[in-house]
Amino acid sequence: MTDLRFDWLPSLSSPQIEERLDVLVTEALKDYQSGSGIKPKATYEDSYRVIGRHLLSALYCAHHAGEGVSLPRRPEAYGVNNLGGIQYPARAALKLRETLISLGWLSISEKGSKGKYTIAAASGDLAHAFDEWGLRWMLPELLPETACVELRDVKRDTEGKPIRSGRKRKTTKVDLVVPESSLVDRHRSNLTYINNKLRQHCISLDLSNEHLLQLQNEMAEKNDDAETQDTYRSLYLQRVQLTRIFSRGSMKLGGRFYRGWWQSIPSKHRPHIRIDGKKTVEADYSGMSLRIIYALAGHDMDPEVDPYDIGLDDWRGPKDDRRKKIKKIINALINDEDSVYVIPKQELKLLKVTEEEFLLLLFNKHPLIKNELQSGIGLKTQYIDSQIAEAVMLELLKEDVVVLPVHDSFIVPAGYQLALEASMKHHFNQLTGSTTSVDVEIVKLDDHFGMTKDEVLNLADDESLGFISGDESWKAVVDNQKKITTNYLSSWEHWKATRADSFDYSLGETT
Supply the DSSP string of 261-306, one letter for each residue. GGGTS-GGGGGGEEETTEEEEEEEETTHHHHHHHHHTT----TTS-
pLDDT, tens only, 96-107:
999 999 999 999
Residue 156's SS3 state is strand
- Residue 72's pLDDT is 92
Burial class (CB in 10 A: 0-12, 13-18, 19+), 458: exposed
Cα–Cα distance list, 247 to 151, 178, 252 (Å): 6, 11, 8
Run of H or E including 243 = strand 243-246
Cα-Cα end-to-end distance for the chain: 39
Mean pLDDT score, 430-440: 93
Q: Is the pLDDT at 478 greater than 50, yes or no?
A: no
Q: Is the pLDDT at 5 greater than 90, yes or no?
A: yes
Q: Which segments of 415-469 does DSSP mark as H helices, in order? A: 417-432, 453-460
Q: Is the pLDDT at 410 greater than 70, yes or no?
A: yes
Mean pLDDT score, 310-330: 92
Residue of 167, 164, 77 whose CA lies nearest to 116: 77
Backbone angle region of 19, left / alpha / beta, with phi > 0 → left and psi within -120 to 50 → alpha: alpha
CB 404 within 8 A of CB 203: yes
- Residue 500's pLDDT is 61
Mean pLDDT score, 269-283: 96
The mean of the pLDDT values for the chain is 89
pLDDT, tens only, 323-332:
999 999 999 9
- Residue 33's pLDDT is 87
- Residue 446's pLDDT is 79
Residue 98's SS3 state is helix
- The whole-angstrom separation of Cα 295 and Cα 16 is 53
Q: Is the pLDDT at 338 greater than 70, yes or no?
A: yes
pTM: 0.90
Q: Is the pLDDT at 225 greater than 60, yes or no?
A: no
Q: Encode 189-220: b = buried (16+ Cβ within 10 Å), e = exposed.
A: bbbbbbbbbbbbebbbbbbbeebbeebbeebb
pLDDT, tens only, 30-77:
998 888 888 899 999 999 999 999 999 999 999 999 899 999 999 999
Q: Is the pLDDT at 222 greater than 70, yes or no?
A: no
- The whole-angstrom separation of Cα 303 and Cα 287 is 9
Run of H or E including 473 = helix 470-482
pLDDT, tens only, 132-167:
999 999 999 999 999 999 999 999 988 888 888 877
How do beta strands 404-405 and 409-413 pair? antiparallel
CB 133 within 8 A of CB 160: no
